[in-house]
Structure 1
Amino acid sequence: MVAQPADPAEPTRRSPQASQRSRTRLFREAPLLWRVLLRVDRALILLTGRLEVTGDVPDELRGRPLLLASNHIGNVDALVVMAACGRRRLALRFLATGGLFDAPVIGSMLRHCHHVRADRGKANAAQALDHVVGALEEDHRPVLVYPEGRISLEPGLWPERGKTGVARMALASRAPVIPISQWGAHEAMCYGMLRVGNFGDVRVLLGSWLAAIRRRPVLKVHFGDPVDLSDLSSDRAGDAARARDRIMRAITAGLAPLRADEPDVPRHEDPTRKVTDKRSPWRP
């Protein structure tokens, strides 16, 4: 399924050289601090494992509002997607909670790098949605979002049902949605605990990461084709759920080949991940 660009005009075909120049120009429009952090992230990921990236984001979808919707499998999977985006010359932004934005050091970095704030539990949900849509319009760098809203606790680590928040953002902004499927990041660090409360918690997480460096897991990331939401509307009942379903199916379709030799449960065992008894509705 291929999304229709907002502009009905046929995109102009570019030479590979022109395409690369355009991608580099858009990448350099990101704040310098963020470009430096992207390089640091790439070094950390290369230290952790072997990064394999397939698929891409079409040139005609760059330089405009764009959502990157990924499955959520571990504590460092955002860093893996960052490295994959860097390889594709995409200086992505994060959709982060208000609590992170209010933190002394991290909050300053998030604001300086123009990441997107999303306050959970706001009384006026429409106001929160408007803020995200406005941020997409102001800065046309892609935004990474997790439709599931948390690391998957599905028994086989397949995507959970997901929430409609990302779908509502896409329908309200008319921003194309690129599904990102990833596998292997769950081996880079254990699930651990919901909140890190003391040094003992940090030691558990750090120890699992050091063990991963010795194992060198394969960190796979796939950029899928844009999800077609052109027939859906932000003001029609049921369309947000339909959009959510299409996004989650697209993510799962890209995930299945990445874990073809692990179709049921992950080979890597993580006793700290407390799974639920709910099986994913998207399992192949």
Structure 2
Amino acid sequence: MGRVRPILMIGRGPARGVGVRRRGPVFETANKWIRLCEIVMFPLTRMLGRPSFEGLEHIAVPGPVLVVGNHISELDPVYTAVYLRKSGRIPHIMAKASLWKVPVVGRILTGTEMIPVERGGGQGQVGLQAAIDSLQAGRVVLIYPDGTCSRDPDHWPMKPRPGVAAMALAGDFPVVPVVHWGTQEVLPYLGKGFHPFPRKKIRIVAGPPIDLSAFRGQAVDARLIRDVSYVIQGAVRDLLAQVRGVPAPKDFYDQKKAERLRAAAAAAEAGATSAPETPER
């Protein structure tokens, strides 16, 4: 499959009146699974919130685009998928492979050509290569650089994983940040309730492509991977700060470090409570 080019689609996709609104050129032909999901997801995103879609011009271009986003709610992939469809592109989202084992969900993910990623055991390279193959075929691929929903107490992006840099360096792909804000108020991560009413304002905003020209052509090593991943995640964080209207933190939240500190504190507390009392003399 070569690089995709704009095509005119009139009368293709869901029928009028089902809540699907798209403007501008359409770059790829949607299959039946994608059109079915549009019928459900386009109106669903408006029922669950009051979304605004900004910066679509950064995605509405032919050829491969690596989309990097912040992850603050399990609703994020739904809103980003709708955002990408409104730009005329078809999303190929990297998601944990265990979702393919869920009845019906797995069939939909396969039908819409999402990309399964195994966690641990070195199997993640298979999903990473599948994502790179999709980019080289001229598609749009979405990855969350942190690899999971943010555990940062204030919902900022976390320390990035190396996969995003490996993808960005695999070819001269535009790397475009797309952030959401407001989804965490509707469906907070880790089951802290579901709050669709009153309908919250949800912003999905794309920024200009991230400039990685300084890293192109260099030998790929661990240091380069780290530097590129931090530049990419920094662009996501800075765009989110603009959307939120507050200063961004200097450092990224380190989930593993936080877990180690909590474990050490818990062990210290347990040791203090179980220590025998010193007998009085």
TM-score exceeds 0.5: yes
Of residues 228-237 and 33-42 in structure 1, the stretch that sits farther from structure 2 once superposed is 228-237
Equivalent-residue separation in structure 2 for 1:126 and 1:45 (angstroms): 32
* Matched AA of 2:39: R
1:242 aligns with 2:227: yes
Gaps spanning 5+ residues in structure 1: where?
1-6, 8-19, 194-203, 266-275, 279-284
Q: 1:118–1:128: 8 Å Cα contact kept in structure 2? A: yes
Highest CA radius of gyration, 1 or 2?
2
Identity of aligned residues (%): 27
TM-score by length of structure 1 reads: 0.71
1:253 aligns with 2:238: yes
Equivalent-residue separation in structure 2 for 1:234 and 1:78 (angstroms): 33
Give the match for residue 226 of structure 1.
209
Q: Compute the displacement of 1:68 (Å).
A: 0.8
Q: CA 1:242 to 1:113, structure 2 compared with 1: closer, same or farther past 3 Å? A: same
Q: CA 1:123 to 1:251, structure 2 compared with 1: closer, same or farther past 3 Å? A: closer
The alignment partner of 1:215 has SS state of coil
Give the match for residue 172 of structure 1.
170
* Matched AA of 1:255: L
Give the match for residue 265 of structure 2.
none
Equivalent-residue separation in structure 2 for 1:219 and 1:124 (angstroms): 35
Give the aligned length. 230
Q: Compute the displacement of 1:125 (Å).
A: 5.7
Q: Compute the displacement of 1:75 (Å).
A: 1.6
1:42 aligns with 2:25: no
Q: 1:52–1:220: 8 Å Cα contact kept in structure 2? A: yes
Q: CA 1:277 to 1:95, structure 2 compared with 1: closer, same or farther past 3 Å? A: closer
Give the match for residue 153 of structure 1.
151
Q: CA 1:252 to 1:49, structure 2 compared with 1: closer, same or farther past 3 Å? A: same
What does 1:62-73 correspond to in 2, within 5 Å?
62-73=61-72
Q: 1:156–1:264: 8 Å Cα contact kept in structure 2? A: no
Give the match for residue 98 of structure 1.
97
Q: CA 1:182 to 1:126, structure 2 compared with 1: closer, same or farther past 3 Å? A: closer
TM-score by length of structure 2 reads: 0.72
Structure with larger RCO (C-alpha < 8 A, sep 6+): 1
Equivalent-residue separation in structure 1 for 2:133 and 2:187 (angstroms): 34
Equivalent-residue separation in structure 2 for 1:72 and 1:125 (angstroms): 19
Q: 1:80–1:219: 8 Å Cα contact kept in structure 2? A: no
Q: CA 1:250 to 1:111, structure 2 compared with 1: closer, same or farther past 3 Å? A: same
CA offset digits 1:5-63 (Å, max 9, x no partner): xx9xxxxxxxxxxxx99822x14x1212112212321111101111112212447x733
CA offset digits 1:230-264 (Å, max 9, x no partner): 2324624411111111111111221112212x669
- Give runs of ≥4 in structure 1 deviating > 3 Å: 122-129, 262-265
Q: 2:134–2:141: 8 Å Cα contact kept in structure 1? A: no
The alignment partner of 1:33 has SS state of helix
CA RMSD of aligned residues (A): 2.9
